[in-house]
């Protein structure tokens, strides 16, 4: 039992809920016409529960937990950009994945944020049931509140399996969302500098 708990913790699993998901997954398999007792499915309910605990491990955590002591005093007014941050999330409408990249920028105001913290903030909100539009806004507002910078810009590009595997079945479609705060919203030159740098020479 101790060994399993350690493994779950190493994979970032959220705290076990008193309401287990596994029995509901078993009933789902039955409703789909499957036999949950056949060898290939016997452990599936427990595996799905562990997977979904990890996929939604952003619940119950605050931005302050992620940022910690990662804010530093620094006199600089140059734009900071972290681009091509991989993200994986679950569409709240169908519980299927969407995945892509986030591009995040801010204009410091006497404070900077450790670069890894930006990626961790993206993960914090991505590891919840989401819609891309809300995810984009949450990341931007979290950085804005943590740093009080002169501006924040966030662009997310993602592919949604709910569009690719079902419905319109458009495998090459990409959804792009943005949230601009402060100077990124009011100053076109700042906004265009960010957008140009964010998409330049990115991986195909």
In a domain, 64, yes or no: no
C-beta atoms surrounding 1 within 10 Å: 5
For the chain, the first-to-last Cα distance in angstroms comes to 44
Residues 190 and 92 in one domain: yes
**Catalytic residue list contains 133:** no
Specify whether 190 is located in the same domain as 101: yes
The range of the structural domain enclosing residue 36 comes to 2-55
Same domain, 119 and 25: no
pLDDT tens, residue by residue, 46-61: 999 999 999 999 998 9
Please confirm, yes or no, whether 110 is among the known catalytic residues: no
Q: 71 near 111, Cβ under 8 Å?
A: yes
Segment 134-190, tens digit of pLDDT: 999 999 999 999 999 999 999 999 999 988 887 776 777 899 999 999 999 999 999
- Residues 31 and 112 occupy one common structural domain: no
Instruction: Report strand pairing: 80-91 vs 129-130.
Output: parallel
Complete DSSP assignment for the chain = -HHHHHHHHHTTPPPPPSS-SHHHHHHHHHHTT--TTSTTTTTHHHHHHHHHHHHTTTTT--HHHHHTT-EEE----S-EEEEEEEEEEEETTTS-EEEEEEEEEEE-SSEEE-HHHHHHHHHHHHSSEE-HHHHHHHHHHHHHHHH--SEEEEEEEEEEHHHHTSTT--TT--EEEEEEEEHHHH-HHHHHHHHHHHHTT---
Q: Which of 23-37, 64-78, 113-127 has the lowest mean pLDDT?
A: 64-78
Confidence category of residue 200, pLDDT binned at 50, 70, 90: low
Our answer to whether residue 160 is catalytic in this structure is yes
CATH code for the domain in which residue 17 is found? 1.10.286
For residue 137, what pLDDT is reported? 98
Number of domains making up the chain: 2
Catalytic, 9? Answer: no
Judge whether 143 lies within some domain: yes
Check whether residue 125 and residue 176 sit in a common domain: yes
The CATH number of the domain holding residue 74 is 3.30.1130.10
Q: What is the per-residue burial (b if ≥16 Cβ within 10 Å, else e) of 124-133?
A: bbbbbebebe
Of the listed 86, 92, 133, 148, which one is catalytic? 92
Residue 109 has pLDDT above 50, yes or no: yes
92 is catalytic: yes
Tell me which of 49, 103, 130, 132 is the catalytic residue.
132
| Statement to judge: residues 180 and 139 lie in one domain | yes
Which is the catalytic residue, given 42, 93, 133, 145? Answer: 93
The answer to whether position 85 is within a domain reads: yes
Exactly one of 49, 91, 157, 179 is catalytic; which is it?
Answer: 91
């Amino acid at each position: 039992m101790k060994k399993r708990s350690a493994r779950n913790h190493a994979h970032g699993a959220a705290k076990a809920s008193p309401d287990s998901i596994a029995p509901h997954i078993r009933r789902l398999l039955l409703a789909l016409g499957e036999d949950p007792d056949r060898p290939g499915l016997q452990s599936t309910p427990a595996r799905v529960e562990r997977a979904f605990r990890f996929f939604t491990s952003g619940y119950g955590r605050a931005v302050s937990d992620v940022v910690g002591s990662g804010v530093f005093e620094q006199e600089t007014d140059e734009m900071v950009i972290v681009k091509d941050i991989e993200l994986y999330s679950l569409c709240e409408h169908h519980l299927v994945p969407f995945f892509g990249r986030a591009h995040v920028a801010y204009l410091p105001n006497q404070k900077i944020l450790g670069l890894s913290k930006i990626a961790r903030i993206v993960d914090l909100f991505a590891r919840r049931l989401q819609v891309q539009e809300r995810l984009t806004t949450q990341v931007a507002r979290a950085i804005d509140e943590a740093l009080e910078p002169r501006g924040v810009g966030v662009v997310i590009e993602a592919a949604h399996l709910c569009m690719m595997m079902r419905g319109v079945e458009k495998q090459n479609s990409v959804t792009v969302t943005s949230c601009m705060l402060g100077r990124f919203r009011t100053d076109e030159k700042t906004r265009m500098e960010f957008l140009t740098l964010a998409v330049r020479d990115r991986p195909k």
